[in-house]
Structure 1
Amino acid sequence: MQVQVNGEMLQVQDGITLTGLVEQLELGEKRIAIELNLEIIPRSQHEETILKESDRVEIVHAIGGG
């Protein structure tokens, strides 16, 4: 199935969770925030949140600095 990630269409497996998407994108060790269909999804819900065809996902990387 296809979902939109940061404005780009991406092919993912059916039934993938947000955690699975993060792993597919190799972002597992990064500090990120995820918005799904205009709603922020807490990290504690990434494992249980299953994506559906045409979902819109925005992933923002937290960048530290001073």
Structure 2
Amino acid sequence: MKVNGKEMTLGNNQNLLQFLEVNQFDVATLAVARNGEIVPKASYETVTLGEEDTLEVVRFVGGG
């Protein structure tokens, strides 16, 4: 699977939430696009990932 342009190993039958937690992403401060489409946070547990998937994970950054 590709995440932010880098190849990453995917565990068997992982959903998106599990993947993010295992890889120490802070779920509260990010947005995820899977194969070019934004995934609503409410769907993270129901989205099953596959080796062919491409994720873009973007963190929210405050500033002024």
* Runs of 4+ more than 4 Å apart: none
AA partner of residue 27 (structure 1): F
% identical equivalent positions: 30
Which sections of structure 1, spanning at least 5 residues, go unmatched?
A: none
**Equivalences, count:** 64
TM-score if structure 1 supplies the norm length? 0.88
Q: Partner of 2:53 in structure 1? A: 55
**Structure 1 vs Structure 2 CA RMSD:** 1.2
Higher strand share: 1
TM-score if structure 2 supplies the norm length? 0.91
Higher helix share: 2
Which sections of structure 2, spanning at least 5 residues, go unmatched?
A: none
